[in-house]
A and B are shown apart, each in its own frame.
Chain A
Amino acid sequence: MAQTLEDLGPPSVGPPKSSFSIGKIWTDKRSRGIVIQVIAMAIFCAIVAYLAANVVKNFEELGKPFGFDFLKQESNYDINQTLISYNSQSSHARAAVVGILNTLLIAVCGIILATILGFILGVLRLSPNWLVNKLAYCYIEFMRNVPVLVHILLVHGILVHSLPHPKNAMNINDTLFLSNRGFYTPQPLFQPLFWLVVAAFVIGIIFAFWYRRTARIKQEATGEQSPVFWVMLASIIGLPILAFFLTGMPIDWQFPEQGRFNLKGGMAIKPEFMALWVALSLYTAAFIAEIVRAGIEAVSHGQTEAALALGLPRKRTMNLVVIPQAMRVIIPPLTSQYLNITKNSSLAIAIGYMDIVATIGGISLNQTGREMECMIIVLGLYLTFSLTISTFMNWYNKRIALVER
């Protein structure tokens, strides 16, 4: 084809001659791209080199070495809530680990509570009941339009100032105590036989999922339905309870006791943790509620009508048609809310909950004067959290995404 065209065409119209000139570098799209990139790279490298040179010069001038060996030194400060054993003789590295665990604890607890509250609020927001609908709307708008830091400080202030002193703590049946030093619950002390209960729980979960699978295969083959929900409930909850009683209730409870100045024993949830947990969850729940509402509204009404026309009952229409489609819309923004909880948990420092920013990025930094190293650790950890959560959620999102032909 090309041959014939060339033969037919007038001889003057040929491919442009590839003569080189300086101006052409800029007029040609491809070479211009390369030039721009080279210039950008040069500027970028120059800036990085300048900053690095400044850093080196500054370190020399201050006579500070750069390195992470300070992490092995004694930390010399206490942390009021620890998940692993820690005291002021422990190293800075251990303080950092305590901080990481505290951050993860608040993030996980916050995500669970915020998700539950958010879904409930989202459904209430869609309720045909005018009063409930408007109440949910007011709540959501108030929560969303006030900074989370104000929420945290407000809840903390209320907990610390309006709850009674431990001396006259709110006493619920001698087991739960609520005071401005924290919320005290009995602490379970597990006896050796308790592992049987745990084993029963694990077996129950495995059995439940196996049963669900076989029931689905059976239904697809024969159309027969099995009582999946009840069997799953019985095996996951019933089996451990049965094992618990058969082994003779292998848990002792250590009850908190009211001392003269403070409460002793039991498990204490500190007011800092409670304030942060409640405030973060209530705040994020408002955002999740809007996401859930948008997700459910995104499923067109035709889908529901089609399912009802096929004779599916309301509940199965919800479970099989509406929710799976709504979840596709809900998951991506939900992920970013989970990331937001994790990042907002860093505001803990304002009320003295010792998370990663308050330990290694706060007290350790001030004690050792290693700003650079401490901030690198903190920034690196947060980037790791964020990238891990978003990778996992992207994977999950891909798994449930609509597969189009």
Chain B
Amino acid sequence: MPNTQSAPLNYVPGEHPDLKPPIGQTGLLLWVRKNLFSSPFNIALTLATIYFLYVVIPPMVNWLFIDSVFNAGSRDECRELGKGACWGFIGKRLGQFTYGFYPIEERWRVNLTFVLFALALLPLLWEKMPRRRMLLWFSLAFPFIAMWLLLGGFGLESVDTDRFGGFMLTMVIGVTGIVFSLPLGILLALGRQSGLHFIRWMCTGFIEFFRGVPLITLLFVASTMLNYFLPPGTTFDLLLRVLIMVTLFSAAYIAEVVRGGLQAIPKGQHEAADAMGLKYWTSMRLIVLPQALKISIPGIVNTFIGLFKDTTLVVIIGLLDPLGIGRASLSDSKWQGLSTEVYVFIALFFFICCFSMSRYSIYLEDKLHTGHRNE
């Protein structure tokens, strides 16, 4: 590019002047221009968004943090101290939100279960953990240890399940549902793909039924109608009934996800397994399922997230999950009218759990993606 104004451009080789790139072609300015102001339409969109954020964010931050009250004894006290959220209420009830009505002197058992749960989860999630194999056995045993710790018996004072509540109840239902629905779902998917007509017909009917009705009606069935199907006089625990229904419900969804994975496996894989002389279960275990499950991981985790979120529905049949505790606390005349605070708090808990699950699933998907990438 000839420059007519300045001195003649006779650069000596190796002694070029270090000129800065033109302004606006690198760094922040370029990024802003390319991503926010690339066209008149984009400029308008950006300005509209900034205005929207300006209208929404400051009042929200004010309400959540700046004007909020973290320590108060009642709603009126809160209102005197500040106009924002009354987190003092949540703070006072935090014990109930976590443990429900679990006896206070036995709460250490719930805490221990949470700690053990974290320990059991670690080898499952972290593949390069030292001594992973040994710890996996512990993970397998964890549900039974947790059951003993929470319910009691064998040396511990026994606690009725109707005292379970809060986040602890959410975890109990969520973890039990996840642990049992995965194997059941895989079996159902295999059944639906099976060549045996009666088995296929039965599994299809089961899956379609459970996917066709809302979970809440199934919970109603569990709470009102299940007794009719048992010998007269038998009663069994409401929580157990709920657990069974939740497990069956999410097993049906997992079955459909796994079926998608099974259908994506080329027929050649089945034929190769047959040619090697593998029996049905061996070929499934060694050849087909590892591939099918790998494809269906995102779907399976999504079903788990759905199951975890659906645990809130138990409040409708009277179990005291966080929503139940929240509603019970709201009926206290000292704290009436603070529903927004309660629901925002519960939403935050679920958001943290479910968002980390979905992040982990994306990480896993990336790690297991051993094939060629398109991009």
The 10 closest A-B pairs by CB, nearest first: A157-B339, A145-B354, A130-B35, A147-B309, A343-B214, A386-B212, A154-B343, A346-B214, A37-B198, A371-B224
**Shortest distance between the CB of B11 and any CB in chain A (Å):** 39
A148: B residues at CB distance < 8 A:
309
* B106-114, B145-153, B176-184, B227-235 - interface stretch: B227-235
Partner of B229 from A54, A153, A346, A361 at Cβ < 8 Å = A54
The answer to whether the Cβ of B305 comes within 8 Å of any Cβ in the partner chain is: yes
Query: In the bound complex, what is the Cα–Cα distance between A133 and B347 (angstroms)?
Result: 23
The answer to whether the Cβ of A318 comes within 8 Å of any Cβ in the partner chain is: no
Query: In the bound complex, what is the Cα–Cα distance between A383 and B220 (angstroms)?
Result: 16
Cβ contact within 8 Å between A375 and B340? no
Query: In the bound complex, what is the Cα–Cα distance between A33 and B200 (angstroms)?
Result: 12
Query: In the bound complex, what is the Cα–Cα distance between A129 and B48 (angstroms)?
Result: 12
The answer to whether the Cβ of A59 comes within 8 Å of any Cβ in the partner chain is: yes
A contact patch SS:
helix
A375 with B309: in contact, given A161-B337, A347-B216 (CB under 8 Å)?
no
Partner of B214 from A37, A132, A158, A382 at Cβ < 8 Å = A382
**Nearest chain A residue, comparing its CB with the CB of B356:** A145
Query: In the bound complex, what is the Cα–Cα distance between A158 and B60 (angstroms)?
Result: 14
Query: In the bound complex, what is the Cα–Cα distance between A372 and B38 (angstroms)?
Result: 63
Cβ contact within 8 Å between B228 and A59? yes
Binary flags per residue of A326-370, CB closer than 8 Å to B gives 1, else 0? 000000000000000001101101100000010001000100000
Cβ contact within 8 Å between A131 and B50? yes
The answer to whether the Cβ of B124 comes within 8 Å of any Cβ in the partner chain is: no
B250: A residues at CB distance < 8 A:
none
24 contacts between A and B (CB under 8 A): A33-B196, A37-B199, A40-B196, A40-B199, A40-B202, A128-B38, A129-B38, A129-B42, A129-B46, A130-B36, A131-B46, A135-B49, A144-B354, A145-B350, A146-B347, A149-B315, A154-B339, A157-B340, A343-B213, A343-B214, A346-B214, A375-B220, A383-B212, A387-B212
The answer to whether the Cβ of A127 comes within 8 Å of any Cβ in the partner chain is: yes
**Shortest distance between the CB of B174 and any CB in chain A (Å):** 11
**Nearest chain A residue, comparing its CB with the CB of B212:** A386
A150 with B340: in contact, given A51-B229, A129-B35 (CB under 8 Å)?
no
Q: What residues of chain B have their CB less than 8 Å away from a CB belonging to chain A?
A: 35-36, 38, 42, 45-46, 49-50, 52-53, 195-199, 202, 208-209, 211-217, 220-221, 224-225, 227-232, 305, 309-313, 315-316, 323, 337, 339-340, 343-344, 346-347, 350-351, 354-355, 358
The answer to whether the Cβ of A80 comes within 8 Å of any Cβ in the partner chain is: no
* Apart from the given pairs A146-B354, A382-B212, 8 other A-B contacts in the complex at a CB distance below 8 Å: A37-B196, A41-B198, A144-B354, A145-B358, A146-B347, A347-B313, A357-B214, A371-B225
Query: Chain A interface residue count: which class?
Result: 35 or more
Cβ contact within 8 Å between B309 and A58? no
Cβ contact within 8 Å between B221 and A153? no
A372: B residues at CB distance < 8 A:
225, 228
Query: In the bound complex, what is the Cα–Cα distance between A145 and B304 (angstroms)?
Result: 12
Query: In the bound complex, what is the Cα–Cα distance between A41 and B224 (angstroms)?
Result: 29
B346: A residues at CB distance < 8 A:
150
Cβ contact within 8 Å between A357 and B196? no
Cβ contact within 8 Å between A150 and B196? no
B209: A residues at CB distance < 8 A:
383
B224: A residues at CB distance < 8 A:
365, 371, 375
The answer to whether the Cβ of A61 comes within 8 Å of any Cβ in the partner chain is: yes
Cβ contact within 8 Å between B312 and A150? yes
Cβ contact within 8 Å between A147 and B350? yes
Partner of B216 from A158, A162, A357 at Cβ < 8 Å = A357
A-B contact count (CB 8 A): 152
Query: In the bound complex, what is the Cα–Cα distance between A131 and B209 (angstroms)?
Result: 44
Query: In the bound complex, what is the Cα–Cα distance between A44 and B143 (angstroms)?
Result: 29
**Nearest chain B residue, comparing its CB with the CB of A350:** B316
The answer to whether the Cβ of A84 comes within 8 Å of any Cβ in the partner chain is: no
A151: B residues at CB distance < 8 A:
347
Query: In the bound complex, what is the Cα–Cα distance between A302 and B46 (angstroms)?
Result: 29
Query: In the bound complex, what is the Cα–Cα distance between A141 and B339 (angstroms)?
Result: 23
**Shortest distance between the CB of A298 and any CB in chain B (Å):** 11
A350: B residues at CB distance < 8 A:
315-316
A37 with B197: in contact, given A128-B42, A161-B339 (CB under 8 Å)?
yes
Cβ contact within 8 Å between B227 and A346? no
The answer to whether the Cβ of A72 comes within 8 Å of any Cβ in the partner chain is: no
**Nearest chain B residue, comparing its CB with the CB of A161:** B337
A26: B residues at CB distance < 8 A:
none
Query: In the bound complex, what is the Cα–Cα distance between A96 and B198 (angstroms)?
Result: 36
Query: In the bound complex, what is the Cα–Cα distance between A372 and B305 (angstroms)?
Result: 31
The answer to whether the Cβ of A274 comes within 8 Å of any Cβ in the partner chain is: no
Partner of A145 from B45, B215, B351 at Cβ < 8 Å = B351
A40: B residues at CB distance < 8 A:
196, 198-199, 202
Cβ contact within 8 Å between B213 and A154? no
B315: A residues at CB distance < 8 A:
149, 350
Partner of B230 from A54, A142, A347 at Cβ < 8 Å = A54
B309: A residues at CB distance < 8 A:
145-148
**Nearest chain B residue, comparing its CB with the CB of A127:** B45
B305: A residues at CB distance < 8 A:
145
**Nearest chain A residue, comparing its CB with the CB of B34:** A128
**Shortest distance between the CB of B204 and any CB in chain A (Å):** 13
A59: B residues at CB distance < 8 A:
228
A44 with B347: in contact, given A36-B196, A51-B229, A129-B36 (CB under 8 Å)?
no
